[in-house]
A and B are shown apart, each in its own frame.
Chain A
Amino acid sequence: MEKNDKKIPWFKRYNKGPVDQPAREIPDGLWIKCESCGEIIYKKELSKNLWVCSICGHHFRIDGKDYIDILIDEGTFQEFDSNITSKDSLNFIDSKRYSERIKETVIKTGLNSAITTGIGTIDSIQVSCGFMEFRFIGGSMGSALGEKFTRAVERAIEMEIPLIVVSASGGARMQESILSLMQMAKTGTALTRLHNLGLPFVSILTHPTTAGVMASYASLGDVIISEPGALLGFAGPRVIQQTIGTELPEGFQSAEFVLEHGFIDKIVPRNRLKATVAGLLRYMYEPAVKTVT
C-alpha cells in the first residue's frame, strides 16, 4: 500500500480557488513548511514522497527533469536534441533584450530550452517523451520548444512507439510573437500524423498548464491526465476577472474543476503516475514484435 493511498479527499483540499502560487525554489535546510497546509515537514521525507505533502497531499512543483525519474525506468532515458535553443529572430526588447534573457536563463537553469525530450521505457515499453520546464521562462512555447516537441512526435512515428509529454507552461513565448503562435499550429498539426498512424499520445498536465500550450498539444492527448490541484485553462484567472468584473467561482480552473467539466480523463497523484500510464499503454499500444537495430 502506497503512502498516498490514505483516504485524503483531494478535491476538498484543492477546491480552494485557483491554485496560483508563484514559482518557488525549494528552500535549503532540513525542514520545510507545506505551502498548502502549513505543516512543517522533514525535507528528506518530502523528497522521498516525490514532493507531495504526506499530510494534505499538496503537490509541490518539481522540475520537468524530475519526472524522468518518476516515469521512466531507471537508466533507460536517452536525451535528444539538447543542443536546440531559442533564437531572438525578431530582435525583441522589453525590459531587456530577448537574446540576453535566453542567455541568462540558460545559465541559471542549466537547460537550453523549456522542454527535455528523448526516449526511454515505462515498465519496459519504449516511449518517446517530453518533459516541460516551467523554470525556463515560465515554460513558454517558442520555436525551440515547438521544434523539439515536433521531433519527439516524429521519433514516435519513426519508431512506432507511444508519445508521453508532461506539460507545465504559462503559454506562448511573447518575445517570439507570431513565430510563437505558429508553434501551436506546428505542434498540433504534427500530432495529426501520429494520430493517423494509430499511435497513442498520453498528455500529462502539471501545475500550471495554460494558454497556448493548453490550447494546442496539451489538450490533444488520446488520454489526458492531470496532477491534483493543477491550474488548467485557456485564459489566466486575472484576465478573466478583469474582463467579466466579478469574482471567480471556488476552485475555478483547478484540475478538479476541469475534470468535472469533462476536459480531462483523470486526476492522478504523482506516486501513481507511472503505474497509470503503463496501465493505459497496455490498452492503447501493442509493441511491434520486430527488433530495432
Chain B
Amino acid sequence: MKVQQFHLDFERPLVELEERIRELRIKASAGDGHAAREIIELEAKLNAMRSEVYGNLSRWHRVQVARHPKRPYSLDYINKLATDFIELHGDRGFRDDPAVVGGFATFFGHKVMFVGQQKGRNTKENIQRNFGMMHPEGYRKALRLFRLAEKFRLPIVIFIDTPGAFPGIGAEERGQAEAIARNIFEMARISVPIIITIIGEGASGGALGIGVGDTVLMMENAWYSVISPEGCAAILWRDRAEAPKAAEALKLTAPDLLELGMIDRIIPEPVGGAHTDPDKAAELLGIELRRELERFATFDESIIAKRLDKYRNMGVFDSGG
C-alpha cells in the first residue's frame, strides 16, 4: 500500500527512489537475493542524490524546507532537549497567546527561561496556535517571562518560528506595533544573557519582537527577512507568484545572513532537512545551545553594553565622497 506523504517538488526524485527501495525490501524479505543487492546499490545512489539535491537548494527551496509541515517546532525540541519544562501562561493583561510558549526549562543541567513561537501540526492545532502568528498579548507574555528571567538571574533561550505577527483587527486595536517596539526596547536592557535561534521561519517584526539578544543562531534551512517572499513579491512585482524571485533578491538564508554578519553561527541540519531526522536535528541544535549556555554560565551587567554596541553597528550605508 502506498503511504500518502507530503513532499516538496524538488524532493520528488528522492521520494521515487525511496519508493523503489521500499518495494525491493519486500522482495528481498521474500528471499530475492538479486533485490537485496540492488537495495545496497540504490541506497548509495539515494544518499548521493540527497547530498546533491540538498547541496544545491535555491533560496526559495530553503523557504519551503523551513515551512515543511513535518519540520520540528519549538515544543518538539523542548521534548527532545529539555530535561524539565514548567510552562507558564498569560500576559496578565488580556489573555494567554498560544502562538508563543514559554516557561522554566532545564537544558544540559542549565536552568533557563524558555520562550518559543509555536506552530500547529494540524488544522485544529493551527487554529489554536494561529499558525505561530502572535498577537500583541503574545509579545507582552514573552516580555513578562523575560522579566521573570531577569529577576531570577536565568539566561533566556528563544526559538523563532513565525510567518509574521498577526495582521488583524484585534491585533491593531491592542497595539501590535507598540508591543513589538516595546519588546525591542526592553530586550535591549534585560540584564541576563539572551540566546536566540531561528529554527524555521523568521518573518519580519513578528520575529524581531522576540529577537533582540546576545547570540543569534540560525538553523541551516531557516529563513529570516524583513518580509516574506510572497509579501515582497506582491509589493515589488505586484504578483505573489514571483515569490521565488523575491526570495533570491532578499538573500534570506542562513549562509546569506552569516555573510552579512547578521547572525553568529549556522546550526547544521541532517541531510534532507530537519524533518527527515528530527532526533538528529535536535542533537545538532543541542550541541550549539549547550555551547552558548556554558559560555554564559557566568555573566555580569557588561552584557547590556555589549548587546547595545552590537546593534549600534548594524547597517550598511554611504557617507558621501
Contact = CB atoms under 8 A, between A and B. Distances in A.
B311 A185 contact: yes
A183 B205 CA distance: 11
B188 A244 contact: no
Contact of A93 (B208, B249, B314, B316): B249
B168 A177 contact: no
A192 B321 CA distance: 32
Contacts of A189: 184-185, 188, 212, 307-308, 311-312
A178 B185 contact: no
B188 to A, nearest CB: 4
Q: Which bucket holds chain B's interface residue count?
A: 35 or more
Contacts of B181: 184, 188, 214-220
B81 interface: no
Given A143-B316, A234-B165, A219 B208 contact: no
Contacts of B188: 188-189, 192
B71 interface: no
Nearest to A143: B315
B232 interface: yes
Interface in A208-259: 210-212, 214-220, 232-236, 239-240, 243-244, 248-249, 252-253
B249 A220 contact: no
A109 to B, nearest CB: 16
A83 B320 contact: yes
Contacts of B251: 90, 177-178
A89 interface: yes
Contact of B252 (A142, A177, A262): A177
A217 to B, nearest CB: 7
B80 interface: no
Contact of A193 (B232, B237, B308): B308
A170 to B, nearest CB: 10
B172 A252 contact: yes
Given A93-B249, A189-B312, A177 B173 contact: no
A144 B178 CA distance: 23
Given A144-B318, A189-B184, A215-B181, A180 B167 contact: no
A234 B249 contact: no
Contacts of A174: 226-227, 232, 235-236, 250
A214 to B, nearest CB: 4
Interface residues of A, number: 66
B198 to A, nearest CB: 11
B96 to A, nearest CB: 21
B318 A219 contact: no
B177 A178 contact: no
B204 interface: yes
A211 B315 contact: no
Contact of A181 (B165, B182, B225): B225
Contacts of A216: 180-181, 184
A191 interface: yes
A248 B171 CA distance: 13
Nearest to B224: A178
Given A189-B185, A215-B205, A180 B212 contact: no
B29 interface: no
A186 interface: yes
Interface string A168-205: 00001110111111111110111111011000000000
B236 A85 contact: no
Contacts of B208: 181, 184-185
Contacts of B205: 181, 184, 211-212, 215, 234
B220 to A, nearest CB: 17
A4 interface: no
A181 B226 contact: yes
B117 interface: no
A174 B311 CA distance: 19
Interface string B235-277: 1110000000000011110001100101000000000000000
Interface of B: 165-169, 171-178, 180-182, 184-185, 188-189, 204-205, 208-209, 211-212, 224-227, 231-232, 235-237, 249-252, 256-257, 260, 262, 307-308, 311-312, 314-321
Given A174-B235, A195-B185, 5 more contacts: A87-B318, A94-B236, A178-B262, A212-B205, A262-B175
